[in-house]
């Protein structure tokens, strides 16, 4: 057994404190607006929750700090996208854009997959038309094995011409969108690279022990985006929702391994793979979409999922209403006023989690046995873990829990949803 609730709770508190600042409008994925980008490959250090610091490579936004993952490139359908890449690393780098066609590369030196920038060499400008909306990734096309491991990956999001639709069809309509970008790291490789011993890197002994969502390991996934003590990891991964909201989850496997990603609380409807709506014919909508409670995205691939927790059909009233109370917006009427079905044990027999608000009901705080600190779940939301179900990936090196994990908070309809 490993005691973790205290440290986890601490991080949550931190998250809460920061999140109480005014937040931008709902559901935008932070990134860099296009259609023209200037990226620089450079080195930096990735922080891990147990205090580690891992030498890494990444793409920086212009003269900014190296980022892990690289800046999320945000463009609109039909944009002519240009990405100019400079290189401050000791090896050649490049960028490839799976899912994009007609990508041209100007400058640099020829490489196996595309033109490359030599260390300190003249930049390469990649250009393509973002012809189709969707979720994509980019990564280095130069020694991809080492480059991806070192951190040269990022998300490319092509927004649909119709605001609020992921694709050109109402089946991709969403209320809030979130990025979930999976990666992993083997720190031994990073140490060898840091100390100039690239030739000694042996991928047959590859053994990742850190696992990331949007470049952070849990519980850091739940610290707000842009927190200043993560200078190289600006993106959080903390989905928030009201009951019935349609969350667009843009899943990207930017790493090299297979991660079975499980969403507590509800299935995901997988509506697109690799930036293509799952449709039987153009305009048919996502008629080939399917439901998953755990999904494994192919490395190098992407999936778009719609997740919507409604609380329907549980056989009891999740709000704890009495029969005469008014309905909440979108409440499942057939369960309205139905009593909680069991008698909970004496609190002394129960171990409360840091997010437990003291009652079974959504938005209702109750008696919460004293534990270290107060609950970060201040509004008694419903909290659901989203995580890799390859559970040894829910560990930060030798320390559980952590890794490829975050929490969704579904807030009561009366509670404003904060952007984290």
Q: How far apart are CA 229 and CA 196, in angstroms?
A: 27
Q: Which stretch binds other proteins (CB under 8 A): 19-27, 44-52, 234-242, 298-306?
A: 298-306
Q: By C-beta, is 30 or 400 nearer to other proteins?
A: 400
User: 102, exposed or middle or buried, with CB in 10 Å at 0-12, 13-18, 19+?
Assistant: exposed
Kind of pairing, strands 247-253 and 240-241?
unpaired
User: 336, exposed or middle or buried, with CB in 10 Å at 0-12, 13-18, 19+?
Assistant: middle
Q: By C-beta, is 153 or 225 nearer to other proteins?
A: 153
Residues from 219 through 238 that contact other proteins (CB under 8 A): none
What is the contact mask toward other proteins in residues 315 to 354, using x (rule: CB under 8 A)? xx-x----------------------xxxxxxx-xxxxxx
What is the contact mask toward other proteins in residues 62 to 81, using x (rule: CB under 8 A)? --------------------
| CB-side neighbour CA atoms (13 Å) of 161 | 8
Shortest Cβ 259–other proteins spacing (Å): 8
Q: Go through the chain and tell me how many residues it has.
A: 420
Shortest Cβ 25–other proteins spacing (Å): 27
Q: Which residues contact 341 (CB under 8 A, 6 or more apart)?
A: 315, 316
Q: How far apart are CA 300 and CA 251, in angstroms?
A: 11
* Nearest by Cα to 115 from 90, 137, 96, 132: 96
**CA 34 vs CA 10, 21, 83, 258, 400: distances in Å:** 37, 27, 9, 31, 39
**Does residue 162 interact with other proteins by CB under 8 A?**
no
Q: By C-beta, is 63 or 342 nearer to other proteins?
A: 342
Q: Which stretch binds other proteins (CB under 8 A): 36-44, 59-67, 77-85, 297-305?
A: 297-305
Q: Which of 33, 200, 287, 325 binds other proteins (CB under 8 A)?
A: 287
**Does residue 127 interact with other proteins by CB under 8 A?**
no
The DSSP code for 333 is G
Residues from 247 through 286 that contact other proteins (CB under 8 A): 256-260, 262, 264-267, 269, 273-276, 278, 280, 284-286
Query: First-to-last CA distance in the chain?
Result: 30
Residues from 81 through 100 that contact other proteins (CB under 8 A): 96-100
Shortest Cβ 346–other proteins spacing (Å): 8
Shortest Cβ 22–other proteins spacing (Å): 26
179 contacts 252 by C-beta, under 8 angstroms: yes
Q: How far apart are CA 69 and CA 150, in angstroms?
A: 10
Residues from 165 through 194 that contact other proteins (CB under 8 A): 171
Shortest Cβ 295–other proteins spacing (Å): 8
Residues from 349 through 408 that contact other proteins (CB under 8 A): 349-356, 360, 362, 377, 382-385, 389-392, 394-395, 397-401, 407
Shortest Cβ 326–other proteins spacing (Å): 21
Q: Which of 17, 113, 327, 372 binds other proteins (CB under 8 A)?
A: 113
Shortest Cβ 63–other proteins spacing (Å): 29
Q: Which of 102, 196, 283, 323 binds other proteins (CB under 8 A)?
A: 102
Q: How far apart are CA 322 and CA 311, in angstroms?
A: 17
Shortest Cβ 84–other proteins spacing (Å): 19
Shortest Cβ 71–other proteins spacing (Å): 21
370 contacts 359 by C-beta, under 8 angstroms: no
The DSSP code for 116 is B
**Number of amino acids touching other proteins (CB under 8 A):** 103
**CA 302 vs CA 247, 252, 273, 274: distances in Å:** 16, 4, 6, 5
Q: By C-beta, is 25 or 205 nearer to other proteins?
A: 205
Shortest Cβ 29–other proteins spacing (Å): 21
Q: By C-beta, is 65 or 399 nearer to other proteins?
A: 399
**Does residue 106 interact with other proteins by CB under 8 A?**
no
CA 319 to chain centre: 29
**CA 287 vs CA 57, 61, 272, 413: distances in Å:** 40, 38, 10, 30
Question: Which tokens hold the place of 1?
Answer: 């057994």
Question: Which tokens hold the place of 405?
Answer: 């994990």
Q: Which stretch binds other proteins (CB under 8 A): 21-29, 78-86, 159-167, 314-322?
A: 314-322
């Amino acid at each position: 057994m490993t005691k973790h609730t205290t440290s986890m709770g601490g991080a949550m508190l931190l998250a809460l404190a920061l999140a109480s600042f005014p937040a931008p409008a709902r559901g935008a994925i932070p990134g860099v607006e296009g259609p023209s980008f200037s990226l620089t490959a450079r080195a930096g250090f990735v922080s891990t929750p147990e205090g580690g610091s891992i030498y890494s490579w990444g793409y920086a936004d212009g003269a900014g700090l190296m980022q892990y993952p690289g800046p999320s490139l945000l463009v609109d359908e039909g944009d002519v996208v240009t990405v100019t890449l400079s290189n401050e690393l000791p090896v050649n780098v490049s960028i490839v854009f799976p899912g994009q066609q007609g990508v041209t590369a100007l400058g640099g030196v020829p490489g196996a997959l595309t033109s490359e920038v030599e260390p300190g060499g003249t930049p390469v400008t990649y250009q393509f038309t973002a012809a189709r909306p969707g979720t994509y990734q980019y990564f280095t096309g130069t020694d991809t094995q080492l480059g991806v491991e070192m951190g040269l990956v990022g998300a490319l999001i092509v927004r649909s011409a119709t605001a609020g639709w992921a694709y050109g069809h109402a089946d991709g309509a969403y209320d809030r969108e979130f990025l979930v970008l999976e990666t992993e790291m083997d720190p031994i490789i990073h140490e060898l690279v840091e100390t100039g011993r690239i030739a000694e890197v042996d991928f047959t002994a590859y053994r990742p022990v850190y696992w990331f969502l949007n470049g952070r390991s849990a519980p850091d996934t739940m610290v707000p985006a842009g927190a200043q003590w993560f200078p190289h990891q600006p993106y959080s991964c903390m989905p928030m929702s009201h009951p019935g909201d349609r969350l667009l989850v843009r899943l990207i496997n930017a790493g090299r391994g297979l991660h079975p990603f499980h969403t507590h609380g509800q299935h995901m409807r997988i509506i697109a793979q690799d930036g293509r709506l799952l449709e039987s014919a153009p305009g048919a909508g996502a008629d080939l979409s399917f439901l998953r409670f755990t999904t494994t995205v192919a490395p190098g691939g992407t999936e778009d999922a719609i997740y919507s927790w409604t609380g329907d059909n549980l056989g009891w009233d999740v709000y704890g209403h009495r029969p005469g109370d008014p309905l909440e917006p979108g409440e499942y009427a057939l369960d309205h006023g139905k009593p909680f079905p069991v008698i909970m044990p004496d609190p002394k027999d129960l171990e409360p989690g840091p997010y437990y608000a003291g009652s079974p009901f959504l938005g209702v705080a109750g008696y919460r046995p004293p534990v270290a600190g107060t609950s970060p779940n201040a509004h008694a939301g419903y909290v659901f873990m989203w995580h890799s179900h390859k559970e040894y990936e829910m560990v930060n090196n030798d320390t559980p829990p952590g890794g490829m994990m975050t929490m969704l908070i579904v807030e009561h309809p009366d509670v404003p949803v904060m952007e984290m």
